Structure 1
């Protein structure tokens, strides 16, 4: 198995050193950047398997880093690690395309668990169906690609996984906890409101009228259902 390469974009040297030592112990190859501009340059040149990103960075804010990176490398997963703990910050980061958000201070074991979960899901091949088509969309579960009118469309890793889970359970209601436990592999990993935000984004992507969805329906007091 190839060694996974992780880019740490963090301006505090002490935190970088702790993360580097622990992640190298877990078997990962680590590259570092102390500011957003350098981090973006390294990410584009090195194409790491995953990025751990602080938000309050010199030269370029973490949100701007995500916006710029997603223009050229939309498939690289990003875990935000930040002292900003307000839910609005988490939602904004996820909306921009981050795959996960961990609030400082945190346990190294939690970060390692989140990293492993992302790599497991990126490497996993669905066992049931390999693709699914509806309207002018096609979802390739095997390759993790979403197509609209035959062209690839950028979609965050977690929103792809949520849509896949809904489709695999089409016409059956699923709870928000079902989604969290299946996609994040851990109960309580994120809040139910985060799930609602991802659903809003998916509706904007696939529905003609997101306010009156045809496919992703809200099931009162339960959760959601992909109806077709």
Structure 2
């Protein structure tokens, strides 16, 4: 019997639904398990429920969930350590801490440990669902950007390192693909030259910020309809650049 064919009446097994996106709930309170299971099942998600840290980690490895709902006070492995382990192994999977602890310092510590959000019990189910759907939507967009993306007349395939504009092949260097991917993943955000050099070039020192300017000029020449009047790669004077799809 495959994991998706198991019953969901007991802790630690999968829901019978066959939705692609599974939510992993790691919670030792039976009543809270029921609340979270019902909340996500009603929205069509598959649900995995585990009552302790070890079984939760096993489910995380085997099921590859779309998101994790994580309590802090768990048997075997405490939630904070579990969060660190999961984010180190699969940083792209959102982890939501759902806890009765409302201390600000504790929240900050969990967020610094990699948690994507912190929800204090008791919580509004509608608010929790909205937060989960927002972050999952953002995650899907980032995953799409990792493979392929299109804007205007441009079609980019990052897996094949292929770029086309108006159906014609455009030659981009490996660095230009990397820079383009970073801008797409941060669409709408103003990105400074220092941030680009740190995150794309991976360097802390550089000869001049013009290094970034020159690369942006090349991207505009290759991907903009009019590089002198850019539509997508916009300059934000005094701050950096912004990709506007």
TM-score (norm 1): 0.59
Please say which of residues 115-124 and 103-112 is displaced more in the overlay.
115-124
Partner SS state of residue 30, structure 1: strand
Aligned match of 2:204: 208
- Write the deviation string for residues 45-97 of structure 1: whole angstroms up to 9, x where unpaired: 11111100011111111111012223322221111111111222122111111
- The answer as to whether partners of 2:72 and 2:80 remain within 8 angstroms in 1 is yes
- Write the deviation string for residues 142-198 of structure 1: whole angstroms up to 9, x where unpaired: xxxx7xxxxxxxxxxxxx99x8257x42459xxxxxxxxxxxxxxxxxxxxxxxxxx
Q: Which has the higher contact order (CA 8 A, sep 6+)?
A: 1
Give me the whole-angstrom Cα distance separating, in 1, the residues matched to 2:117 and 2:179. 22
2:34 pairs, out of 7, 12, 17, with: 17
Would you say 1:99 and 2:116 are equivalent positions? yes
State how many pairs are aligned: 167
Unaligned runs of 5+ in 1: 147-159, 173-198, 215-223
- The answer as to whether partners of 2:19 and 2:44 remain within 8 angstroms in 1 is no
Matches within 5 A, 1:103-114: 103-114=120-131
2:186 pairs, out of 146, 161, 164, with: 164
Computing the radius of gyration over CA atoms, which structure comes out larger, 1 or 2? 2
1:62 pairs, out of 76, 79, 82, with: 79
Partner SS state of residue 42, structure 1: helix
Aligned match of 1:45: 62
- The answer as to whether partners of 2:53 and 2:77 remain within 8 angstroms in 1 is yes
Are residues 225 and 103 of structure 1, via their aligned partners in 2, closer, same or farther at CA, if it must alter by over 3 Å? farther
Partner SS state of residue 208, structure 1: coil
Would you say 1:4 and 2:21 are equivalent positions? yes
Partner SS state of residue 77, structure 2: coil
TM-score (norm 2): 0.56
